[in-house]
Structure 1
Amino acid sequence: MSDNIFELKKTKFLEQRENNNLADSYNKTHTIEQVAALKEGSKNVSTAGRIVAMRTMGKILFAHIYDFSGKVQICVRKTEETPEVFENFVANVSIGDFIGAEGEMFVTKTGELTLRVGSWKLLNKCLRTLPEKYHGIEDIETRYRQRYLDIIMNQDSRDVFKKRFEIVKTIRRYLEDSGYVEVETPILQTTPSGALARPFFTHHNALDIECVMRIACETYLKRCIGAGMDKVFEFARSFRNEGVSATHLQDFTMLEFYASYWNAETMRTFVEGMMRNLIEKIFGSVKVTLSGNDIDFSGKWPVIEYSDLVKKDSGIDITKYTSRESLAEQIKAKNIRLDDDIESLSWANMVDSLYKKVSRPKLIQPCFLIKYPVEMAPLARRNSKDSNYVDFFQFLVNGVELVKAYSELVDPLDQRERFEEQMQAREHGDDEAMPIDEEYLTAMEHGFPPIAGVGIGIDRLTMILCGCENIKDTILFPLLRPQTQGQEEKAQEKPVD
């Protein structure tokens, strides 16, 4: 917008403010969505919103007003009884302004339900010109940087965030109805724990200590279980100082929930019921289309062993090649090019990278992966029949992991050994390995019951269910480089999950 237009709008705003023409409140009896559902002839309808389109034809004016629930047409006529209603509107209201309007519903000759305005109030002025309404905002960076404009102008964006709100609400209600209690755990922590990830560091001035932003809420939620809270959950804002890709962000929302006296198999049954309930609530059916793929959530979902899947897709039996050197040799012999630098990977990370390369993209229909090597889940319980594996599962749809869960490790001696193994990995350069968390070990030494736990990335879940191409499409205000640097946002395509 040119400086001249901005100054003209600013002058008009100052004039309205000096004349006390800007109302400080309005009695909005109906949302726009509620207005659009009314019948012709409904009277005393009072609503408010932003003007997003306006056209004047002689003595009649049509406009569309918008709120997050939708938009509806209003009509202002010049009549002999109250000509000032029309004249003041034309003189003082522009596209982008907020108004309140009251009147009666009627249907135009073109069949559009419309509010005939009997009275109105100017609530606030818009000093900057909105984007052109027919094309919305097509520039991706502008959509992320100025999300408020994206939501105003693009119906698709509004639909994504409405669906995200519904996803969170549906899951929360299902958990609460199943006896879970919602809790809050610390974001600022002294030890990064609960996941294999690189943390963000910060300094606590008052205590003069170094802190990390939480990478997961797992160890604190399990302390709640140890305190006697049988079932707990948290929608936790989490932070991992890793690369950015179309499916990853460094700050994200993770749902974690834990149940006493359950194991991974019990939890898998619960997750299947919860996810099917979510799909039915969001889509009204268990058969949906996601990103062009027809997905059927009905019936029992297949359960696949992790090592069997990797062997089928790569020809490599990871149960036989248990050192990083031997596994790396096999991957090179099969001419498989991983997305990560193979020389820098631990055995567990190499297995994970191999699976993501050869197997994960093929898992389109709902399925569970089970029986993971113990090295890949340092907080999970060893399988009673084979201690080389943990009681662990992931739920996948459309080639994306949506749920990660396992029987929790509640043996403090085993946990300490695994922390020590993680420390050795850190000493050999793996900066995502966990340090020893002595406070968590102390809590575990006081005794934990059997526990099963689940982690779900809400942003990624929304991305898959809404068919978004980039996880930023599901975040209201994703982090971008400041414009003052003069650099465009560039995503690092290195997968980091």
Structure 2
Amino acid sequence: MAAPDDPAGGEHAPAEHEPELLAVRRAKLDRLRADGIDPFPPSFPGVVPTADVRAAHEGLEAGAETDAAYRVAGRLVQRRGQGKMAFLDLVDRSGRLQLQARLDVLGEERMARLLEQVDLGDIIGIDGTAFVTRRGELSLRIDDFTVLAKALRPPPDAHYGLRDVETRFRRRELDLMASEEARALFVTRARIVSAVRRFLDERGFVEVETPVLQPLYGGAAARPFTTHFNALDRDLYLRIATELYLKRLIVGGLERVYELGKDFRNEGISYKHNPEFTMVEWYEAYADYEDMMRRVEELLPAVAQAAGVGPEHPVDFTPPYRRVGLVDVIREATGIDVMAHQGDGELAAAIARAGIDIPTDGLEWPGLVDDLFSKKVEPTLVQPTFVIDYPKALSPFAKDHRSVPGLVERFEVFAGGMELGNAFTELNDPDEQRARFEAQVRLAEAGDEETTPYDEVFVQALEQGMPPTAGIGVGIDRLVLLMTGRHSIREIVLFPAMRE
């Protein structure tokens, strides 16, 4: 139901009426001030969540009265009735609660102010008494009310919400205001993050913070964002990963470390890519990638439980998870043995002969292998799967496979048709690491834009001695997508990157 001054219904009011609606609301603001009422008071102490009110009176029969008094606050989202009695709906972070305004309780002046000067969208504070209506709905009878923030713009329509998807993502505050589902989604995201932290804390990992602005980016194959530091007159990079700094902490003796925060990659936007995204990376001394797979098999069920994932979810997080070699799974899907086509142009020619429609121009062998996998295999991996044992050229920080030449001890974990995490038995031989960096430099010189730059400081850190170590990076945004069943990263990031 629209407010009396807003017959067209919030967001759906025609644009030509907007100046009139704003003027009406400002006039009400002026009236409140003229009556000596501060429409933006500094505080309202003693508020309890509306969920506490509901929990305290669960099971009361229709028509039941109580003498329980509560102070609640939130946004006014609906109003029904006029004259001697009106019902209003209040929404706070914990849910919705019906309010009852009665003339014989508030008196004529305050009843008129509530119905005529308070609009949908206003933040109000309520002191009231709990009861149950004859229809069985728990409500608060309003004993007193306070305007806490006068809304100068009408809210989205209470029934239809925000229909325009672009507006939902660009103006997330309106989306949250209009949709209980949206609010619940981001609460679930917060629970997932908390579950990841709790999982690592309980296993003796130490949370650390490493630089976001870095003199040299590294730890992944991606293009960085560049910025300029005026005080030092030098360019810096927004980090693309935390890997190299975290492994330097392993060298320093912390042994189990993790960081959960933002990374930035100057790449395209897709349903599963945002240029800034949240990652957790953790590193464990004296472990290998087999140990890390076991960690993941413990983590995913714990996160699913925290997210409230039920048996109807299409993904079964019960371990153990399937394991399959990268080379094998590409051969199964395409008929191409990538390890047999490593010469110049050989893999591109094999792709063409197989009639596989992926671009090959300008891509070196590692890029072609990655494209074959991401286009032809990854979308098919719905149930949790470890794809293991990658070619060395794709993995500049992973230790050589202990039994298969040309491969390294690396896995990526997939579920729901997308990558969730990337892990290695970490390379700790400084001479081999230097050679891997030099190979990346050669790829860059050949035109590959997504290579890892040479980092001499990191090599010197390895020369101090790093114990055998396993490490992994897990995408928090991908976890949230998977656990909540959403289909686009823009749905589960509060303020995603958008085109102008």
Structure 2 length-normalised TM: 0.92
Displacement of 1:156 in angstroms is 2.4
Are positions 1:314 and 2:331 aligned together? no
Distance verdict in 2 for CA 1:400–1:26, change over 3 Å: same
Residue 11 of structure 1: which of 6, 23, 27 is its match? 27
Q: Tell me the CA shift for residue 373 of structure 1.
A: 0.6
Q: How does 1:340-379 map to 2 (within 5 A)?
A: 341-379=359-397
Q: Secondary structure at the match of 1:121?
A: strand
**Cα distance between partner residues in 2 of 1:48 and 1:177:** 37
Q: Partners of 1:220 and 1:12 in 2: how far apart?
A: 56
Report the secondary structure of 2:246's partner residue. helix
Deviations 1:351-409 (A, max 9, x none): 01001222111111111111111111111111122241111111111211112111111
SS at match of 1:296: coil
Matched, 1:169 2:168: no
Matched, 1:444 2:469: no
What 5-or-longer segments of structure 1 have no aligned partner? 483-497
Equivalent position to 1:303, from 295, 299, 323: 323
> How many residues are matched?
475
Q: Distance between the aligned counterparts of 2:307 and 2:106, measured in 1?
A: 49
- Choose the corresponding residue for 1:27, options 45, 50, 63: 45
The answer to whether the aligner puts 1:149 opposite 2:165 as a matched pair is no
State the secondary structure of the residue aligned to 1:235. strand
- Rounded Cα–Cα distance in structure 2 between residues aligned with 1:220 and 1:32: 45
Once the two structures are superposed, residues 272-300 of structure 1 have per-residue CA deviations (whole angstroms, 9 ceiling, x without a partner) of 11111211232365x442xxxx3222242
Match of residue 11 from structure 2: none
Provide the C-alpha distance between the structure 2 equivalents of 1:97 and 1:274, rounded to a whole number of angstroms.
42
> CA 1:17–1:191 in 2, change beyond 3 Å: closer, same or farther?
farther
Q: What aligned pairs does 1:91-102 form with structure 2 within 5 A after superposition?
A: 91-102=116-127
SS in 2 for 1:119: strand
Output the amino acid matched with 2:395: A
% same residue: 36
The aligned residue for residue 343 of structure 2 is 323
CA positional deviation for 1:133: 1.2
Q: Is the 8 A contact 2:218 2:244 kept in 1?
A: yes
The answer to whether the 8 A contact 1:221-1:232 is kept is yes
The match for 2:356 among 336, 345, 348 is 336
The equivalences for 1:27-426 within 5 A come to 27-39=45-57, 41=66, 43-79=68-104, 82-283=107-308, 285=310, 287-289=311-313, 294-338=314-358, 341-426=359-444
What TM-score results when the alignment is normalised by the length of structure 1?
Answer: 0.92
For 1:343 and 1:469, how far apart are their aligned partners in 2? 30
Taking structure 1 as reference, are residues 81 and 433 closer, same or farther at Cα in structure 2, changes over 3 Å only?
closer
TM-aligned CA distance change 1:83 to 1:411, over 3 Å: same
Give the aligned residue type for 1:405: A
Query: For the structure 1 residues 323 and 59, does the alpha-carbon distance in structure 2 shift closer, same or farther, using more than 3 Å as the test?
Result: farther
Query: Which residue in the other structure is 2:481 paired with?
Result: 463
1:258 positional shift: 0.8
Q: 1:276 touches 1:297 (CA, 8 Å); kept in 2?
A: yes
Report the CA distance shift for 1:480/1:219 in structure 2 as closer, same or farther (over 3 A). same
Contact 1:38–1:105 under 8 Å retained in 2: no
One-letter identity of the residue aligned with 2:215: T
Q: In the alignment, is the contact (CA less than 8 A) between 2:309 and 2:483 conserved in 1?
A: no
Using the TM superposition, name which of 59-68 and 72-81 deviates more.
72-81
Matched position secondary structure for 2:466: coil
Please say if residues 324 and 350 of structure 1, whose CA atoms lie closer than 8 Å, have aligned partners that are also in contact: no
Gaps of 5+ in 2: 1-14, 61-65
Q: Say which is worse superposed, 87-96 or 253-262, in terms of deviation.
A: 87-96
Taking only aligned residues, the RMSD between alpha carbons, in angstroms, comes to 1.5
Aligned to 1:420, the other structure's residue is in SS state: helix
The one-letter amino acid paired with 1:54 is: R
What amino acid is the match of 2:25? K
User: Any conservation in 2 of the 1:51–1:99 contact (CA below 8 Å)?
Assistant: yes
